[in-house]
Amino acid sequence: MMIQSGLRAVFLLFRSSIIILILSASAALSQSPPSPDAAGTVTAPPSPNDVRELMRLLGDPSIRNWLAESASSQSEIRAVNAPSFAMRDQLAVVTQSVHERLGELATFWTDIPKAIGMLAGVWQSQLSQTELLRLLTYCLIFLFIGAALEWLYHQYTKYRSMQIEFLQPSSFRVKYQGVFARLGIELGSLSFFVLGSIGAFLLFDWPETMRALVLDFLIMIVAIRFIKLISRVLFAPRLSNLRLVNFTGKQAALSSYWFVLLLSFGVFANFVHRLFSQTLTVMSDSQTAGTLVSIDIFVTIIWALLGLSAIWSLKRYFSNSDTQRVTIKGRLADTWPTYLTVLLCMVLALSIMGASPLTGTVLTIGLLVPAISLAGKWVESLFNQAALFDRNQQLLELDSEQADTPDEIETTDNVEAVEAETFIQPVEIYGSIIRRVVRFLLVALAILLLINLWDINLFALSASQSLAGKVFDVAIDTLFALLLADLIWHWAKSAIDRRLADYTPPPDGQAPGPEARMATLLPMLRMILMVTLLMVVFLSILTSFGVNVAPLLAGAGVLGVAIGFGAQALVRDVVSGIFFLIDDAFRIGEYIEIDNLRGTVESMSIRSLRVRHHRGMVHTIPFGELKSLTNYSRDWVIMKLEFRVPFETDLKLVKKLVKKIGAELLENEVYGKSIIQTLKSQGVRRMEEFNMVVGVKFMTKPGEQWLIRRDAYQKVRDAFDANGIGFAERNVKVQVMADQPIGEETRKAVVGAAQDAVEQQLPPVPIADEP
Amino acid sequence: MKRNLRIITGLLLYVFVACHLLNVSLGIVSAELVEQTRPAFMYIWSSRLGGIILLSALLIHAVLGLQVLYQRNTLQMSASDGLQFASGFLILPLMIPHVWGVIAMVNILDTPPTYPILMHFFWIDSPLEGLRQVLLLMIVWVHGSIGIFTWLQLKTWWPRIALFTYPLIVLVPVLALLGFVEGGNLAIRNFENTASYTDQQNEDDIPYAAESVDGYGVSQDAENEIAATDTFAENYAYVQQVKWIMIFIYAGILALVLIARWWRLFRQDGVVSVVYDNGMAINAVVGNTFLELSKTNNIPHANLCRGRGRCGTCRIRILKTSAELPEPTQLEADALLVTKSDSDVRLACQCIPGAGEVHIERLFEPDVAFSEFRKGQKSSNTDPAPDGALVLNADGEAR
């Protein structure tokens, strides 16, 4: 549970950071210049709220129609916005825009020297020296106020954060509590900064230009600080104890450096872009547009150069060792710098060409593969961490146990067993599920991004009758169905397999535990689930292809009803079988009695129960036939034995002897442990004609009673023998009422008469049939 | 004595700045309020005696700072120390224009420095001066606060009131800055209103623009004083000149001190090698204290008072030495006496070893915490606290 919650949170964090990464990257790269007449494209990357609002509006059919109409009536380029899904049209639009862009670029290269001068001119016309200085003063003041409030916050939290930073986590939970406490403290710190800087700024009324500029500046600072915060929490360059990723100190420091630098530069570029687009709006001739293009291209090139240096400086610290390079996978993983370089160059070229959706597409798809593999590795390392912590803990516990028990060999065995179990299990089972979830979400995210980039209205596209639209529609549906089914199947399968792996069948002759029931039910469940999933996926794919599955379903329904009538008994067997299993009436390996049939449960199918008699016969009993059932293998068994002793026996002695024997039985190494209550005398149970019946009883685990009874009989007999207690024999006393000795004749007659009495026997009792 | 002087002058200046800032912070309400309450806040300081005391405190504090710069053997220090150290030398250049400007306004230019005039000057006539002013405020406050905290940290009563003091420390500059911004906004609004008004009246005759002089004396009614303008301009130029001369003199002194320090360090030669109790050894040029040697070589060494000879946590035992160790200074001797140290124990922050090899043992764990330290002190009658550690006050007396 703890691992799950920790993971969930970590995962959320990870996802959000990835989103930020991709968004900021695409934001920085996809800042297309505003072509003078494309009013629909917003030059500055808008705020998320605006985007959401825009998306909502774009989703509105009436707005779409209006856009399409007004666009088609004006110019060719506007056709981009119109919902034309024919391949040829789109291609034409793209080539057209690239062509125009090339023209722009040509003028850009010739205009560079002029552009800088012009920018300076525009800047000065917009902001006088005085205003610039004032701007600086304002920024300084509000940053200082933010820093002051943050310092104040720091004074009250520094001991806590110091505690966290010096934390030596003993378990996964402690570590992640530390990580999140740190995140919380730092977020609090940042929000105090925001409160101080932006909050103080908002206290005043400002002229419009000043307001926008100062606010943009403060927001930029806050964004950069947020990036830093994320990097500090994620990479924790100084605190290896709280690091989320499995990096060495050097790797973490370098990664965090480049992470912050690249993203901050993106934010900075955004700020510059806004700055200029705001100041340049006043002049709306083509020259200003050119200037903005030049700024954007310049910034993009710098960004790409930074990215390249990041890739190649990180390469040194992240290349695989030689041993890993032997495999193809290892060698492939080692090519990532080259791969990313090529990708970056492509993205750069495309963004210079101005094909902004294409840029985003290449970037998204290109980053998807490494992102998936990185995420997978990360999840794995998280689980390894957790396993390591668990193992350390268990080793510690074992150590303390070891202090108690001097038995060295056993403990080392335990250590190995613990290692083997805890090390493999979580990674193998949960890890692969989480990996799949991450992969699924990443792919979904990429698809959403792509849709966003191309501004595709999914509904309109799938409604359109073009081939591309159809294929797209089917592909998306199929992909999602498969991914979802894969996810569910993998989750269920690994959960079931885990439970099954936990189950070890009991050694021969021992009663199985309650988990035996699971061993019976789970494979059945797995099978049912697989069939259902396959059916659902198959049907949903068919649906997306446009096949009407209703008749199919109806047909299956009719068939089902027909079969159901025919197989009523079968259905009863199956259903009652499931309920017997849920009732836990019997498990595999238990000795049961049904009506007159007895035996050990050997196996269960979906319909019937197979019971083996102790003499070898196998009974097959359909579940539907079971009315009641006696289980001999549950919890405990009481066995009662009787001895007949003569009336003159010393009962106290008997009691003492039985007690002694009970103690002896307990000490037996074979069955001693199975005895729950050992042999004890119950005193005289009843008096009979010629003797007393002494009862003894004992309680054992099921299945052990026979062996113990055997020994108990033997020991009691020996003990009685040794102490002069004879077992009562059937004898007849004949009292002769005469005062002189009887003669031989008479004696014979008496014996003869007594013989009759002796031989008057009870009818023979059938021998109990016991295994 | 020197430390006492530094703290006293520093406190004096800090209190003055605090009063001044509190006064300015009333600008959030209105400019008039600042004017009206100024006598109340500045009463003590505006007298001639107060002015002299304040100026001499400033000078003494500055000279002491320069002396510390001269005497420091290494410029590597902790972040807050570094901030305080560096900010200390920035204060005077930033402060001279303001202080001298006000003095000059009263004494030479005969224009009383009122709040609205100053606001107009800082935000409209010379925004660069406004920027400087803001920087000055921040630097002075940070410098002063670090100094005061360092001083207070070793007081027994400090932890009890610390939590209540922090908000005050933050509130004063923040409110002052907000007051400054509000005053500026007001000034700008007034200015723009009058500007647009005069624009409509007569565009060619804007009297004050010609006179956007860099002294504090921009008066709106300059029109009537055309005769006086000449003398005013002369005076103003003189004031400016003096201001720059003062700044250059300070820069020159600073440069001289740096050169002298360099020369002092340059003359010292010979290598001292220090061997620590855990076997670590370092080699360094003679001239640094043991504590500085530890810190520059990243060897953990306890120093709660950060090398000011107050706490005694940096004490070391000299196990074996072939180097010459100077006799303890008065400060060190007092500290050693109070802590009842043996004769072979020295204060690492005061003792500068000569050339040779010294084997030392650090008497305190590097991470000795202040609270533990105090605890040890309280229970010192039963358990003679870690080597009789005691906190000394500025005079080296035990408390």
**Residue to test with chain B: of A137, A149, A154, most B Cβ within 10 A:** A137
The single-letter DSSP state of residue A285 is S
Q: Is residue A268 in some structural domain?
A: no
Helix or strand run (H / E) with residue A341:
helix A336-353
Give the range among A56-60, A130-134, A313-317, A758-762 with minimum mean pLDDT.
Answer: A56-60
CATH number, domain at A499?
1.10.287.1260
Q: Is residue A704 in some structural domain?
A: yes
Q: Is residue A516 in some structural domain?
A: yes
Of the partner residues B124, B162, B177, the one whose CB lies closest to the CB of residue A141: B177
A620 and A755 in a single domain? The answer is no
Give the range among A426-435, A583-592, B268-277 with minimum mean pLDDT.
Answer: A426-435
Quick check: B174 and A196 CB within 8 A? yes
Quick check: B163 and A151 CB within 8 A? no
Across A332-346, A441-455, A522-536, the highest mean pLDDT is recorded for A522-536
A715 and A644 in a single domain? The answer is yes
Identity of the amino acid at B238: Y
Quick check: B131 and A200 CB within 8 A? no
Residue B205: the pLDDT is 43
Cα separation of A694 and A681, whole Å?
8
Cβ-contact A736, A713 below 8 angstroms = no
- Residue A599, classed as helix, strand or coil, is strand
Q: Is the pLDDT of residue A11 over 50?
A: no
Q: Does B185 contact A at CB distance below 8 Å?
A: yes
Confidence of residue A70 (pLDDT cuts 50, 70, 90): low
Confidence of residue A109 (pLDDT cuts 50, 70, 90): low
Confidence of residue A699 (pLDDT cuts 50, 70, 90): very high
CB atoms closer than 10 angstroms to residue B270 = 13
Residue A321: the pLDDT is 58
The single-letter DSSP state of residue A198 is I
Structural domain tally of chain A? 2
A549 and A617 in a single domain? The answer is yes
Of the partner residues B134, B170, B177, the one whose CB lies closest to the CB of residue A151: B170
Quick check: A138 and B181 CB within 8 A? yes
A727 and A581 in a single domain? The answer is no
Cα separation of A40 and A80, whole Å?
10
Q: Is the pLDDT of residue A512 over 60?
A: no
Burial of A37 (0-12, 13-18, 19+ CB in 10 A): exposed
Among A606, A631, A656, give the residue marking a domain's end: A631
CB atoms closer than 10 angstroms to residue B275 = 16
- To the nearest whole angstrom, how far is the Cα of A160 from the nearest Cα of chain B? 15
Residue B151: the pLDDT is 85
Quick check: A141 and B134 CB within 8 A? yes
Taking only the tens place, the pLDDT of each residue in B341-398 is 888 888 888 888 888 888 888 888 776 655 555 544 443 333 333 444 444 333 333 3
Cβ-contact B121, B109 below 8 angstroms = no
Taking only the tens place, the pLDDT of each residue in B120-147 is 888 888 888 889 999 999 999 999 999 8
A673 and A611 in a single domain? The answer is no
CA-nearest residue to A150 within chain B is: B170
* Burial track A13-23 (b if 16+ CB lie within 10 A, e otherwise): bbeebbebbbe
A641 and A621 in a single domain? The answer is no
Query: How much is the mean pLDDT over chain A?
Result: 76
CA-nearest residue to A144 within chain B is: B138
**Neighboring chain B residues of A205 at a CB cutoff of 8 Å:** 185
Taking only the tens place, the pLDDT of each residue in A705-763 is 888 999 899 999 999 989 888 888 777 777 777 777 777 888 888 788 777 776 766 66
Interface of A with B in 197-256 (CB under 8 A): 200, 203-206
Quick check: A140 and B181 CB within 8 A? no
Cα separation of A455 and A66, whole Å?
16
CB atoms closer than 10 angstroms to residue A115 = 20
Give the range among A5-9, A102-106, B194-198 with minimum mean pLDDT.
Answer: A5-9
Helix or strand run (H / E) with residue A366:
helix A356-404
Strands of A283-345 (E only): list them.
Answer: none
Residue A207: the pLDDT is 75
Q: Is residue A607 in some structural domain?
A: yes
What is this model's ipTM?
Answer: 0.75
Among A597, A631, A665, give the residue marking a domain's end: A631
A559 and A651 in a single domain? The answer is no
Taking only the tens place, the pLDDT of each residue in B239-266 is 888 889 999 999 999 999 999 988 887 7
Where do we find the tokens 């949960």?
A430
From B71, B73, B78, B68, select the one nearest B272 (Cα to Cα): B73
Taking only the tens place, the pLDDT of each residue in B40-93 is 888 777 778 888 898 899 999 999 999 888 887 777 777 888 888 888 899 988
Strands of chain B (E only): list them.
Answer: 271-275, 281-285, 315-321, 345-347, 356-362
Q: Does A137 contact B at CB distance below 8 Å?
A: yes
Q: Is residue A741 in some structural domain?
A: yes
Q: Does B129 contact A at CB distance below 8 Å?
A: no
Of the partner residues B123, B135, B182, the one whose CB lies closest to the CB of residue A134: B123
Of residues A595 and A501, more confidence is placed in A595
Residue A134 to residues A102, A207, A386, A718: CA-CA distances in angstroms? 41, 12, 54, 113
Report percent pLDDT > 70 for chain B: 83
Across A145-154, A585-594, A680-689, B189-198, the highest mean pLDDT is recorded for A145-154
Quick check: A145 and B130 CB within 8 A? no
CA-nearest residue to B183 within chain A is: A204
Quick check: B138 and A144 CB within 8 A? yes
Interface of A with B in 40-59 (CB under 8 A): none
A507 and A588 in a single domain? The answer is yes
A625 and A648 in a single domain? The answer is no
Quick check: A152 and B128 CB within 8 A? no
Q: Is the pLDDT of residue A69 over 90?
A: no
From A112, A104, A188, A98, select the one nearest A151 (Cα to Cα): A188
Cα separation of A223 and A27, whole Å?
14
Of the partner residues B131, B174, B184, the one whose CB lies closest to the CB of residue A148: B174
Burial of A504 (0-12, 13-18, 19+ CB in 10 A): exposed
Q: Is the pLDDT of residue A119 over 70?
A: no
Taking only the tens place, the pLDDT of each residue in A586-610 is 877 888 988 888 898 888 777 788 8
Phi, psi of A740 (to 5 degrees): -105, 160
* Burial track B175-193 (b if 16+ CB lie within 10 A, e otherwise): bbbbbbbbbbbbbbeebee
* Angle (nearest 5°) at CA B97 between B92 and B101: 135
Confidence of residue A317 (pLDDT cuts 50, 70, 90): confident
Q: Is residue A712 in some structural domain?
A: yes
A592 and A609 in a single domain? The answer is yes
Q: Does A138 contact B at CB distance below 8 Å?
A: yes
- To the nearest whole angstrom, how far is the Cα of B215 from the nearest Cα of chain A? 17
| Distance between start and end Cα atoms, chain B | 18
Confidence of residue A97 (pLDDT cuts 50, 70, 90): confident
Identity of the amino acid at A685: R
Quick check: A141 and B163 CB within 8 A? no
From B329, B325, B368, select the one nearest B344 (Cα to Cα): B325
Quick check: A152 and B135 CB within 8 A? no
Taking only the tens place, the pLDDT of each residue in A358-406 is 778 888 888 888 888 888 888 888 887 777 777 777 777 776 665 555 4
Cβ-contact A218, A210 below 8 angstroms = no
- To the nearest whole angstrom, how far is the Cα of B324 from the nearest Cα of chain A? 40
Look up the domain containing A669 and give its range.
637-759
Of residues B340 and A43, more confidence is placed in B340
Residue A618: the pLDDT is 93
Q: Is the pLDDT of residue A28 over 60?
A: no
Confidence of residue A148 (pLDDT cuts 50, 70, 90): very high
Domains in chain B and their CATH numbers? 2-263 (1.20.1300), 271-388 (3.10.20.30)
Give the range among A205-214, A285-294, A496-505, B342-351 with minimum mean pLDDT.
Answer: A285-294
Residue A698: the pLDDT is 92
**What mean pLDDT is predicted for residues A428-446?**
78
**Residue to test with chain A: of B83, B129, B178, most A Cβ within 10 A:** B178
CB pairs under 8 A between A and B: 55
Residue B207: the pLDDT is 42
Taking only the tens place, the pLDDT of each residue in A516-528 is 666 767 777 888 8
Q: Is the pLDDT of residue A423 over 70?
A: no
- To the nearest whole angstrom, how far is the Cα of A195 from the nearest Cα of chain B? 12
Q: Is residue A649 in some structural domain?
A: yes
Cα separation of B72 and B69, whole Å?
5
Output B293-300 pairs: Cβ under 8 A, ≥24 positions apart: B294/B348, B295/B74, B295/B76, B295/B77, B296/B74, B296/B76, B300/B366, B300/B367
Cα separation of B7 and B152, whole Å?
11
The single-letter DSSP state of residue B392 is B
CA-nearest residue to A146 within chain B is: B174
Query: How much is the mean pLDDT over chain B?
Result: 78
Q: Is residue A86 in some structural domain?
A: no
Among A585, A605, A631, give the residue marking a domain's end: A631
Residue A64: the pLDDT is 61
Q: Is the pLDDT of residue B203 over 60?
A: no
For residue A71, what are its two tokens? 């666009």
**Neighboring chain A residues of B163 at a CB cutoff of 8 Å:** 155-156
Cα separation of A4 and A86, whole Å?
47
Angle of helix A2-29 relative to helix A208-235, nearest 10 degrees, comes to 140
